[in-house]
Structure 1
């Protein structure tokens, strides 16, 4: 099980308890003398996760895999095994857990620890079986959280800690050797390594740890003017980086790193959809365009809300509790190891819900008007989204059959008065005979590249998309110049689960529709998006060179160039 699947699956396990009313779980009044109710609720949900993980553990004393924990694919791996140690540590430490000071659970955790030590490579690394082997960064992910587990186990007073702690220390120190020398793949991996080494240094101070941290930090933090990190991964890696930098700042007394976190958290407030989801369309990682909520940001917002007495951050905590409350259970160790986080949040300040905000470094424009919002995206075949409450147009695309390369994508978004413009210029040449003095004697086509051939009959197609606000929504004008009679298709991709009206189902398609005229409607729960007017001059929605249809209800408008058509959304 990879680390992303673990977090997801652990959250799912925590959520199988009977439904709870989260505003009641996050009361306004808590005390620092007693674990607050919201934290107690997360502890109790964690018990369900522990019980689930135990069912996947190998308990056969004669098995060479004794103590290991399988994932959902029946593969034994370090990550699901470490998950049992982590969740178990949260449980044995917490007085409100059914596993509080459970010697039996601690014994099972010790078996898991021994399995980790057994499967750890001689260089101190572990494998992420889905992709990375002898992986320093994946070792860092485990070491950081297991170091926190070590602290909780040590402080729990559970019978048997003298057995597990030396084994866990062996794994952590071996991991520290790898982290002090090994390399990384991605920008955030640097901070994973640094945070893990910070935690090790807190337990067992060592100059080689701090020297390696200084070496990575010497590259500076990869944050741009907008407040976005290099990977632009708003759902996964931006929030991860925030948590890691807080860990390093606290552990090494480097408060300047918190300025970077504040910058990202300030930006993120403008990446929030009306229903509490986060904008992921510009991500450069695997969370691109996924549906994601804000649970990964809860710890950074809560930590800095309390440290800075920041009312907007406190309001973000409220929003996350309301829209993704159970999911923050995946970060229970952060809250258990730092009782200062149990304090009451400061007085709230209103969050931004009425704005136009341009993030030029990310090629993204955000427009929000209370319960309605829109995102414009450059360098992306999906360049427009529109949300009205729970009703979601999750993408708009435009394609032509122009020489098999007509999927529209604009390199930039240009603001022009009250409009935003996206443009694309395509050429479709034909090629003349190869220069005589360069013809390959064997007639090998590959040795006579088209780049060296004279061009003729060059066709051009220029597309301009202008997007404007209206009194009750947005309008998108699509226009082309150049080659005529080129078939085009406009694709409106809605989130599954809603109801379409006024559009006609395309025969032999899974969920494709034509809007032939007038306005269509897409409704989800109590919200409705109205869009149109439609046009349908042909039924070819799979134009050569266009991207395949998404697995979602998609409404098409079709015709031929030149086109000049305005589609309104409200």
Structure 2
């Protein structure tokens, strides 16, 4: 599923769930390949624990028209929360290690949930994403992709008196399958969502119409660039999702060529990791842009390819996720219950890349990693540089000048020159002469006199160049702004909340706002970023035409054009 309606539910429900300590996953593994490994047993236990909070969202009033369904964090009954409960319940009921194994109570609740899904399913087989999409084939696909696995788990669970529930389940899925064979999509990944759902349907109930529709979508080819990134560049949400979907299609329809795309994306993602284990998200074209998140969504794909290829780097990535993120991986427990081949021991580990400079021009970024610190250079983005050092994080640097209301700096290119990276922008600010007399409208309507027909004069110009290079201990950015003189400039250093400063001056009447005259530090736990030298020639931090300040601790350096300053980070 992984949809916005469920995100609201998950945010509310999961915040009260017990979190398993990561060391619990370090227990010895079974030597019997038919036994579930310790990490999977812990996921089963975590799923049991989460079911307590999820079941509390059920609508139990028989007089309520949404009886049997589940509501989200805003008390809205919806198909996504309901389907997620069915999935979790099926996982629990199918596992002998679960306290809900073959549970009659859960079977009854699942039956109510499935009847609710049937009730709200449109006659064309589709469901709604109530926050935005209605009669939505893609959202139906998100649900079917997971519930087909839930159907199989339940069918193989041996739960007494499950036949009637399975019949209701099958009716719902077959109706949805009809929608998936004809319905349209919105985004690139939706094609693979629908195709993966149809693949799972075809595995249960073979149908040439399912396969024909899959082939039609696959005929558009996979949207991957030469660097291994999918079109949406969504490292936190849709790239890991697409990997899971392509594996599903490859397995179900015997299309091993699709795994090559997964391999390439997984290899690329190894260079999108910060030292603290978070993912680089600033280049995303979707809602996770600049979001904070970790790579548990890749665990299934990394494990699948590590075992299939005996790939030691991907095995190392799996072990890192197991060590630090397994409690977050419970959402994917059904993938592992569905494929016992993934229970095998991983191949040996090879160290992950931690010392590199790597450019990704298609995604518009450059990654620099040197052990405990890393930096990302970005194009076509008002945040053009980030710097991470353990838990101390400079989320971004922005630069603005009060130049005709359009002085927010961002570069369209990142050019490598020797050991430096060059970012540039050229702006002009013209004035306009009287409109050509023979073209003036009789009614004097300003909108009928476009500026393109007026001669320009007194044209002001502003050229900006930022040169970024490594130092022995970090990064430096040399900034030059020339052209029109006397333009106020503000350089903005935006830090992630949670730390403490030294060397900065609090700006009165503005929260989280500081000026830097000399050098400063930002410390979070045992990690410290040092930045400077400063510049404090005025207090104009919110310049006209600049983006609004972010709700985060922010340090400003201020000056005027011609502006030349070198900022060092370490």
TM surpasses 0.5: yes
Task: Tell me the residue number matched to 1:68.
Answer: 69
2:495 paired with 1:480: no
Distance 1:241 1:281, change over 3 A: same
The residue matched to 2:249 in structure 1 has which SS? Answer: helix
1:160-193 C-alpha deviation (Å, 9 max, x unpaired): 2112111111111111000000000000000000
2:144 paired with 1:143: yes
The residue matched to 1:157 in structure 2 has which SS? Answer: coil
User: Superposed, which structure 2 residues align to 1:265-414 within 5 Å?
Assistant: 265-414=266-415
1:537-566 C-alpha deviation (Å, 9 max, x unpaired): 111111000000011000000010001100
Task: Tell me the residue number matched to 2:537.
Answer: 537
User: Superposed, which structure 2 residues align to 1:517-528 within 5 Å?
Assistant: 518-528=518-528
Partners of 1:59 and 1:13 in 2: CA distance: 17
Task: Tell me the residue number matched to 2:186.
Answer: 185
User: Superposed, which structure 2 residues align to 1:153-232 within 5 Å?
Assistant: 153-232=154-233
User: Superposed, which structure 2 residues align to 1:239-258 within 5 Å?
Assistant: 239-258=240-259
Partners of 2:16 and 2:41 in 1: CA distance: 16
Partners of 2:193 and 2:16 in 1: CA distance: 30
1:493-525 C-alpha deviation (Å, 9 max, x unpaired): 000001111101111111010002x21000011
Distance 1:124 1:26, change over 3 A: farther
* 1:20 Cα deviation after fit: 3.6
1:133-160 C-alpha deviation (Å, 9 max, x unpaired): 0000000000010000000000111112
* 1:7 Cα deviation after fit: 5.6
Which segment drifts farther, 301-310 or 316-325?
Answer: 316-325
* 1:61 Cα deviation after fit: 2.5
Distance 1:9 1:40, change over 3 A: farther
Partners of 1:138 and 1:5 in 2: CA distance: 10
* 1:4 Cα deviation after fit: 4.2
Task: Tell me the residue number matched to 2:472.
Answer: 471
Q: Is the 8 A contact 2:426 2:461 kept in 1?
A: yes
* 1:26 Cα deviation after fit: 4.0
Partners of 2:27 and 2:305 in 1: CA distance: 19
Unaligned runs of 5+ in 1: none
* 1:313 Cα deviation after fit: 0.4
The residue matched to 1:165 in structure 2 has which SS? Answer: helix
* 1:10 Cα deviation after fit: 4.5
1:94-124 C-alpha deviation (Å, 9 max, x unpaired): 1121111101111100100000001000000
Q: Is the 8 A contact 1:107 1:160 kept in 2?
A: no
The residue matched to 1:403 in structure 2 has which SS? Answer: coil
Q: Is the 8 A contact 1:498 1:522 kept in 2?
A: yes
1:49-95 C-alpha deviation (Å, 9 max, x unpaired): 21212111112223322201111100010001111100000110111
Normalized against structure 2, the TM-score is what? 0.98
Q: Is the 8 A contact 2:2 2:142 kept in 1?
A: no
Task: Tell me the residue number matched to 1:566.
Answer: 566
The residue matched to 1:290 in structure 2 has which SS? Answer: coil
Distance 1:24 1:63, change over 3 A: closer
Distance 1:226 1:510, change over 3 A: same
Q: Is the 8 A contact 1:15 1:326 kept in 2?
A: no
Task: Tell me the residue number matched to 1:549.
Answer: 549
Partners of 2:14 and 2:42 in 1: CA distance: 10
Task: Tell me the residue number matched to 2:120.
Answer: 119
The residue matched to 1:271 in structure 2 has which SS? Answer: coil
The residue matched to 1:477 in structure 2 has which SS? Answer: strand
Distance 1:163 1:65, change over 3 A: same
The residue matched to 1:458 in structure 2 has which SS? Answer: strand
Q: Is the 8 A contact 2:22 2:325 kept in 1?
A: no
Task: Supply the RMSD in Å over aligned alpha carbons.
Answer: 1.4
Task: Tell me the residue number matched to 2:88.
Answer: 87
The residue matched to 1:530 in structure 2 has which SS? Answer: strand
Task: Tell me the residue number matched to 1:458.
Answer: 459
* 1:277 Cα deviation after fit: 0.3
Q: Is the 8 A contact 1:14 1:329 kept in 2?
A: no
The runs of 4+ residues in structure 1 deviating greater than 4 Å are 7-19
The residue matched to 1:346 in structure 2 has which SS? Answer: coil
Q: Is the 8 A contact 1:229 1:238 kept in 2?
A: yes
Q: How many residues align?
A: 569
1:296-329 C-alpha deviation (Å, 9 max, x unpaired): 0000000111111111001001122233221111
Partners of 1:166 and 1:80 in 2: CA distance: 21
Q: Is the 8 A contact 1:137 1:192 kept in 2?
A: yes
Distance 1:208 1:535, change over 3 A: same
Partners of 1:18 and 1:280 in 2: CA distance: 28
Partners of 2:493 and 2:323 in 1: CA distance: 30
The residue matched to 2:166 in structure 1 has which SS? Answer: helix
Q: Is the 8 A contact 2:9 2:73 kept in 1?
A: no
Task: Tell me the residue number matched to 1:440.
Answer: 441
Q: Is the 8 A contact 2:441 2:448 kept in 1?
A: yes
Partners of 2:367 and 2:162 in 1: CA distance: 52
Q: Is the 8 A contact 2:9 2:72 kept in 1?
A: no
Unaligned runs of 5+ in 2: none
